[in-house]
Structure 1
């Protein structure tokens, strides 16, 4: 079989044409791989989307002590060439008011040429709690993270809109809780953004209506490509078997008008490097069509690949698909 025109041009550039039939299959395979690597590098020169790394992608390494929170920004830059990060408060839970510690985080990120984008907040209470006292306490618990985010140079904190009650009751409570926290965050120039993270919050329409109901321009969404289970067997936000799931593509589309961040969730990949759970071409087209120009944060949670390799696979997929979108 004769080499294709592109392959012929590539072989010529390597001085391998004119050798007649003496080109071995091994040489052709090496040329094919070199050509592929060359094209991949060209695609990555001008990616459509800016990519950040969500710290949860490396949660196993962090919890195991194989990676320290203070080294996260530097590790992200050296391992993946990614220059923006999204922190998770679980990895420095007791340090929200420790300016010495936060200062070290800030310095290391700056020295590595890494931008701190946001902090994902969990475990500080339900901002959609139907009990007013509990809801107000949750708002108070989150305020220190607004201040920490400002100190670190972030633009947002990611929060949850959890609550127990009817959809209407929790929506009304979430509007109150989020609105109150966003009002506090406004002078700090910090956004309060909600991720689809289980129960009612994984219903794109419900969450969009809640955000709109706050009337605050610094209250928005963090659409996640996964996390669309709205009902589990045990009645909780997490843990039980999912028995009802919201359409992820519809959900992301409904949240995008309020998006101040996007989370590219991934678990497993097929032999062609495509995400098995989510059609990234369809999902990234939704993001692009919404006119979104911010960062897309990689959040790898798979087990077939190591965390490092999973992040790289997701990064490669986003760049590859991004280069083909119309």
Structure 2
């Protein structure tokens, strides 16, 4: 056999193996992601991580993308509306945000929306007004090239009443956002929304592809007065089937760089086991480290966890040569990783 014919046969086998991966559903698995030399997940930065600098006038919203890239080496951002609250319809300002992000090679992912009313308000007029208040942010997200806005599912009433009310507001807002190709994501953010089962139930009621969740690793406080918390691992597991973004909340770190309240290896296994390989957004809220140091510590932790969870067997497809023994071997390795 000539060298050229061997190369052709090799390429055919590689192509066939790759096609087999796609048909077998491996395209969304952790192995398929790493076998293509892509990381298990990407890292982004939530603007709230710098809220003290922003509120204190030490940082301007327009410089957020630049600081994200130059200070932290992160290429994607998640904005918070309160840092440009009066600019939702300011086309010139939004264009400047776009330009500054583009200048440093940063991708705009989403806008976190607060202070625009309760989407599950029991008063029909107030609920409708809250929905309308969010419209401008859907349009702003579209202008910025984001894929989503993050909202809250705040309401009042009994468990089931609040589910129905929140689902109504979210369904109507999601239908509006669909016209712009924007998703509406709900974060566990206090009250019943911090109950994973409750919020998952809301998602089932809405039942629209454009409505999903943004699980936050730390926002599972059910009652701030008593300190009662929902199990964060159970909650994230319940919300991940609907997740289109993930918030890696950090507060304090031990001497080894691990987050003291959240087992990040355990948590990220839950995220990856759900088939999620998108952006994981750093949201640092600690006080012992300053914001810049806290963000860097958070990134270091995520990189360490990503490396630990990446299987050593994540090699190029040609290593298995499309043979049955090799494929069986990879299936065994993948099961070990997913366990």
Q: TM-score range by the shorter chain?
A: 0.7 to 0.9
| Within-5 A mapping of 1:117-128 | 117-128=109-120
Residue 106 of structure 1: which of 98, 104, 111 is its match? 98
TM-score, structure 2 as length reference: 0.80
* 1:57 and 2:63 are equivalent in the alignment: no
Structure 1 counterpart of 2:144? 152
Structure 2 counterpart of 1:290? 274
- 1:294, 1:189 → 2: CA distance? 18
Q: Which has the higher contact order (CA 8 A, sep 6+)?
A: 2
Structure 2 counterpart of 1:27? none
The answer to whether the Cα contact below 8 Å between 1:155 and 1:191 also exists between their aligned partners in 2 is: yes
1:277-324 CA-to-partner distances (Å, cap 9, x unmatched) read 100010001001110011000000001111011001010101101111
- 1:86, 1:54 → 2: CA distance? 5
- 1:243, 1:223 → 2: CA distance? 20
- 2:259, 2:227 → 1: CA distance? 22
Structure 1 counterpart of 2:227? 243
- 1:90, 1:168 → 2: CA distance? 31
Structure 1 counterpart of 2:239? 255
What is the CA distance between 1:243 and its match in structure 2? 3.1
Residue 299 of structure 1: which of 264, 272, 283 is its match? 283
SS in 1 for 2:117: coil
Structure 2 counterpart of 1:169? 161
| Within-5 A mapping of 1:177-326 | 177-233=169-225, 242-325=226-309, 326=337
- Name segments (4+ residues, structure 1) moved above 4 Å: none
The answer to whether the Cα contact below 8 Å between 2:40 and 2:277 also exists between their aligned partners in 1 is: no
Structure 2 counterpart of 1:9? none
The answer to whether the Cα contact below 8 Å between 1:47 and 1:319 also exists between their aligned partners in 2 is: no
The answer to whether the Cα contact below 8 Å between 2:43 and 2:76 also exists between their aligned partners in 1 is: yes
Structure 2 counterpart of 1:89? 81
Gap change, CA 1:295 and 1:269, over 3 Å in 2: same
SS in 2 for 1:324: helix
Gaps of 5+ in 1: 1-44, 234-241
* 1:77 and 2:60 are equivalent in the alignment: no
- 2:242, 2:38 → 1: CA distance? 26
Q: How many residue pairs are counted as aligned between the two chains?
A: 274
CA-atom RMSD, angstroms? 1.0
- 1:54, 1:256 → 2: CA distance? 19
SS in 1 for 2:161: helix
What is the CA distance between 1:131 and its match in structure 2? 1.2
1:204-246 CA-to-partner distances (Å, cap 9, x unmatched) read 011011012112100000000001011232xxxxxxxx43210
- 1:212, 1:307 → 2: CA distance? 37
TM-score, structure 1 as length reference: 0.83
Structure 1 counterpart of 2:133? 141
What is the CA distance between 1:47 and its match in structure 2? 4.2
Gaps of 5+ in 2: 1-36, 310-336
